[in-house]
Amino acid sequence: MTIGKLIDGKAFAATLRDKVGEGVAGFVEATGRKPGLAVVLVGEDPASSVYVRSKGKMTVAAGMESFEFKRPDSIGEEDLLDLIEELNHDDRVDGILVQLPLPGHIDEAAVIGAIDPAKDVDGFHVVNSGKLATGQEALVPCTPLGCIMLLKDELGDLSGLEAVVVGRSNIVGKPMAALLLAESCTVTIAHSRTRDLASVVHRADIVVAAVGRAEMVKGEWIKPGATVIDVGINRVTDTEDGKARIVGDVATAEALAHVRAITPVPGGVGPMTIAVLLRNTLVAAHARAGLGKPEGL
């Protein structure tokens, strides 16, 4: 039996960050200032703190300015909206990211809706999701765009391929489906009410799993030769050594016997998300400075 390939998202992301760094140098030369990314973190969730710290480091490494705003769980919605309004009007800030999820007493849609769409580097604002859905130029959600970059690198032209996205969240599943459709794939979105998920997944040349359930997509579900993108980040305790680790939504070891290629977790989609965030920040900075689109990104 042949074994599929592991897609090295970590290496691809490092290359993308280098390209962003070159674009940043050009931006600084043209404008005399650095692009700036503001990240807002509400609460003390340890996983979120880790991501925010690593985003901050990579932002600085790419030559951009990083602004971090930590607020307690107890912050009121009005105070959070005031902070966003302040960032909207701060000329040093080109990108605003509010780490999700927010505490239950805060209306996520209201907070995302308060971000200036021109600074919405997550691509979560309805102006950007609406533009994506109608085929207009937009800031596109980082994780799905990173997945498309990996797919095109592996497969070239995606047109006509059968794609199944498992998960329909606004931040991953829906924009992922919109991007695959824009690449002229035949797209199916599966979710918790889908009947016979195994046979739906088995139709796909491209499987994107964005569910949040450890290793739920089984190896036998995969059509031989399909390419699998595993978005899931699930913290589990290893049954053998009792140590905490992260696994994806796909049973990777099983799937390797069926796939053409698959992204590992960690080291697949996750690093791409951060690299694309930096790319989107540079794109937003260019647009705000009237420089058009940065080249080669």
Ligand X SMILES: NC(=O)C1=CN([C@@H]2O[C@H](COP(=O)(O)OP(=O)(O)OC[C@H]3O[C@@H](n4cnc5c(N)ncnc54)[C@H](OP(=O)(O)O)[C@@H]3O)[C@@H](O)[C@H]2O)C=CC1
The catalytic residue positions are 55, 99, 122
Least gap, CB of 17 to ligand GUE (angstroms): 12
Find out whether 21 is annotated in a ligand binding site: no
Q: Which does 169 bind (CB under 5 to 8 A by kind): ligand X, ligand GUE, none?
A: ligand X
Binding mask 126-155 for ligand X (x = CB under 6 A): -----------------x------------
97 binds, among ligand X, ligand GUE, none (CB under 5 to 8 A by kind): ligand GUE
For position 232 contacting ligand X by CB under 6 A, the verdict is yes
Residue showing tokens 């690299």: 275
Binds 122: which of ligand GUE, ligand X, none (CB < 5-8 Å by kind): ligand GUE
Q: Which two tokens stand for residue 249?
A: 């939504």
The answer to whether 168 is annotated as binding is yes
**212 binds ligand X, rule: CB under 6 A:** yes
Q: Least separation, in Å, of the C-beta of 225 and ligand X? A: 23
- Which listed range, 54-62, 160-168, 178-186, 280-288, lies at the site for ligand X (CB under 6 A)? 160-168
According to the 3-state scheme, what is the secondary structure of the chain? CCCCEECCHHHHHHHHHHHHHHHHHHHHHHHCCCCEEEEEEECCCHHHHHHHHHHHHHHHHCCCEEEEEEECCCCCHHHHHHHHHHHHCCCCCCEEEECCCCCCCCCHHHHHHHCCHHHCCCCCCHHHHHHHHCCCCCCCCHHHHHHHHHHHHHHCCCCCCEEEEECCCCCCHHHHHHHHHHCCCEEEEECCCCCCHHHHHHCCCEEEECCCCCCCECHHHCCCCCEEEECCCEEEECCCCCCEEEECCECHHHHCCCCCEECCCCCCHHHHHHHHHHHHHHHHHHHHCCCCCCCCC
**Residue 127 interacting with ligand GUE (CB under 6 A):** no
Cα separation values, 88 from 45, 69, 118, 119, Å: 25, 14, 9, 7
| Cα radius of gyration (the chain) | 19
Q: Which does 246 bind (CB under 5 to 8 A by kind): ligand GUE, ligand X, none?
A: ligand GUE
Number of residues that bind ligand X (CB under 6 A): 25
Region of 23-31, 98-106, 188-196, 287-295 interacting with ligand GUE (CB under 6 A):
98-106
Tell me the closest approach of the beta carbon of residue 190 to ligand X, in angstroms.
6
Among 99, 273, 280, 281, binds ligand X (CB under 6 A): 273
Q: Give the residues lining the site for ligand GUE (CB under 6 A).
A: 51, 97-100, 122, 142-143, 233, 246, 265-267, 270-271, 273-274
Binding residues for NADP(+): 167-169, 233
Q: Give the residues lining the site for ligand X (CB under 6 A).
A: 143, 166-169, 171-173, 190-194, 197, 210-213, 231-234, 269-270, 273
